[in-house]
């Protein structure tokens, strides 16, 4: 049997990938323009919306540009040390730092450099390194996946802000769940993050999904479109439905029960468990509503427009509901209605 081309592993670049043209272009254009129009972007979206894949794709594209160095930092570790180490060990840069006599031996990075006083403050170390990078007309993109509101992250963000102000060639791309990015951004000391542009990952293009299914699974045009619509453009569902349909030789109806179960166990259980009771009640009312009319749902719940408005906004920003049509809401995740029906608030 042929190898299944779809993947259900999170965070790994899929071999079947649908490009988000507009959102990719936006970031790359802003970063590459001279002078840069932005030096930071925050990517948010619900679990399984493709944040890690998107980050990796952009990092790859920018890394392929001349004079760009991409460093991936681990959000769970000390970020400035991670960045210093990443830069130091990039083989295009090591010799520059050595000639600039940047001694990082205190941090266990590189080797002792004779006749150079070791630097003891990591922030100063990174700044000195970036000055060297700037002299060499190079630029650095730092990527951080899954940020949360931690002390390391806040320290890193404030150091980053100073480096940007000093015209150092550093760029930052991070991803996080909306709720995590939001608390980080609303931290009083993070005024600069407050203004950082956010990209809410949109659903994948339905037409592109349909043509992928048609080509890869050899299903007919009508089936391919029907399947694509079923995924609602949710990247994880695109992979899972593709995977099981492939296993069932293109008979997607047979694949559906497994597909739903997989989505529930690997994404929806976690998403549901992270919601407040009131969020769940609103989603339940929406799932039960025939029209999706905002006023109907709100009255059904006995909430005031103000109360309802703030919950609705949060659900929109988290990427759980879609409000493209004025006055109406719908669920963003595929088959989520039936999941909600069988789960307690």
Two structure tokens written together for 206: 């339905």
| CB closer to ligand ATP out of 159 and 184 | 184
Kindly identify the residues of this chain, within the stretch 43-82, that bind ligand ATP according to CB under 6 A. Answer: 45, 47-53
CB contact at 8 A, 319 and 178: yes
Which of the choices ligand ATP, Mg ion, none does residue 139 contact, using the CB cut-off of 5 to 8 A by kind? none
Q: Which of 8, 256, 278, 316 binds ligand ATP (CB under 6 A)?
A: 8
Q: Which listed option, Mg ion, ligand ATP, none, makes contact with residue 315 (CB within 5 to 8 Å by class)?
A: none
For Mg ion, which is the closer residue by CB, 46 or 224? 46
| Centroid of chain to Cα 74 | 14
Closest residue (Cβ) to ligand ATP? 50
By CB under 6 A, the residues from 88 to 107 that bind ligand ATP are none
Q: 66: exposed, middle or buried (C-beta count within 10 Å: 0-12, 13-18, 19+)?
A: exposed
Q: Which is nearer to Mg ion, 13 or 65 (CB)?
A: 13
Tokens matching residue 316: 């929109």
Q: Which of 342, 230, 336, 221 is nearest to 244 (CA)?
A: 230
Which of 133, 84, 77 lies closest to 110, judged by CA? 84
> Which residue do the tokens 């400035």 mark?
80
Q: How far is the C-alpha of 279 from the C-alpha of 35, rounded, in Å?
A: 43
Question: At its nearest, how many Å lie between Mg ion and the CB of residue 336?
Answer: 19
| Residue 24 or 52 having the CB closest to Mg ion | 52
Decide which of ligand ATP, Mg ion, none touches 118; Cβ closer than 5 to 8 Å per partner kind.
none
Contact 105, 137 (CB under 8 A): no
With CB under 6 A as the contact rule, the residue among 82, 86, 235, 319 that binds ligand ATP is 235
Helix (H, G, I), strand (E, B) or coil at 155: helix
- DSSP classification of residue 293: B
Residues 69 and 87 sit within 8 Å (Cβ to Cβ):
yes
What minimum distance in Å lies between the beta carbon of 235 and Mg ion? 11
Site for Mg ion in 21-50 (CB under 5 A): none
Residue 181 Cβ vs ligand ATP, minimum distance, rounded to whole Å: 12
Q: How far is the CB of 208 from ligand ATP (least distance, A)?
A: 9
Stretch that binds ligand ATP, among 4-12, 106-114, 131-139, 301-309 (CB under 6 A): 4-12
Q: If binding is defined by CB under 6 A, does position 239 make contact with ligand ATP? A: yes
Closer of 140 and 204 to ligand ATP (Cβ): 204
Spatial separation of the C-alpha atoms in residues 297 and 295, rounded to whole Å:
6
231 binds, among Mg ion, ligand ATP, none (CB under 5 to 8 A by kind): none
C-alpha span between 79 and 268 (Å, rounded): 31
Q: Does residue 7 interact with Mg ion by CB under 5 A?
A: no
Are 338 and 260 in contact by the 8 Å Cβ rule? The answer is yes
Structure tokens belonging to residue 7: 């993947």
- Give which of Mg ion, ligand ATP, none residue 7 binds (C-beta under 5 to 8 Å, depending on kind): ligand ATP
Q: Select from 4, 24, 38, 52 the one that contacts Mg ion (CB under 5 A).
A: 52
Q: Residue 330: helix, strand or coil by DSSP?
A: strand
Radius of gyration of the chain (CA): 23
Interface with ligand ATP (CB under 6 A) = 7-8, 10-11, 14, 17-18, 45, 47-53, 204, 235-236, 238-239
Interface with Mg ion (CB under 5 A) = 11, 51-52
């Amino acid at each position: 049997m042929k190898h299944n081309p779809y993947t259900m592993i999170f965070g790994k670049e899929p071999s079947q990938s649908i490009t988000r043209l507009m959102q990719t272009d936006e970031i790359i254009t802003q970063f590459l323009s001279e002078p840069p129009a932005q030096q930071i972007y925050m990517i948010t979206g619900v679990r399984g919306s493709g944040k890690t894949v998107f980050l990796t794709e952009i990092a790859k594209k920018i890394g392929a540009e001349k004079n760009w160095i991409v460093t991936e930092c681990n959000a769970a570790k000390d970020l400035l040390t991670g960045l210093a180490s990443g830069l130091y060990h990039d083989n295009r840069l090591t010799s520059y730092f050595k000639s600039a006599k940047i001694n990082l031996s205190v941090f266990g990075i590189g080797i002792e450099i004779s006749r150079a006083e070791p630097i003891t403050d990591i922030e100063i170390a990174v700044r000195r390194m970036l000055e060297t990078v700037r002299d060499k007309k190079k630029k650095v993109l730092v990527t951080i996946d899954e940020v949360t509101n931690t002390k390391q992250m806040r320290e890193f963000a404030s150091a980053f802000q100073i480096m940007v102000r000093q015209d150092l060639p550093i760029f930052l791309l991070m991803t996080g769940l909306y709720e995590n990015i939001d608390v980080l951004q609303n931290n009083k000391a993070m005024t600069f993050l407050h203004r950082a542009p956010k990209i809410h990952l949109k659903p994948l293009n339905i037409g592109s999904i349909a043509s992928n299914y048609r080509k890869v699974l050899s299903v007919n045009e009508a089936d391919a479109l029907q399947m694509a619509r079923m995924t609602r453009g949710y990247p994880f569902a695109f992979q899972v439905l593709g995977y099981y349909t492939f296993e069932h030789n293109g008979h997607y109806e047979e694949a559906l029960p497994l597909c739903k179960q997989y989505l529930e166990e690997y994404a929806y259980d976690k998403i549901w468990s992270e919601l407040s009771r009131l969020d769940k009640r609103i989603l339940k009312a929406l799932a039960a509503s025939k029209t999706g009319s905002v006023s109907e749902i709100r009255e059904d719940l006995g909430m005031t427009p103000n109360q309802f408005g703030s919950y609705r906004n949060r659900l929109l920003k988290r990427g759980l509901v879609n409000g493209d049509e004025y006055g109406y809401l719908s669920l963003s995740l595929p088959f989520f209605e039936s999941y909600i029906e069988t789960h307690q608030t």
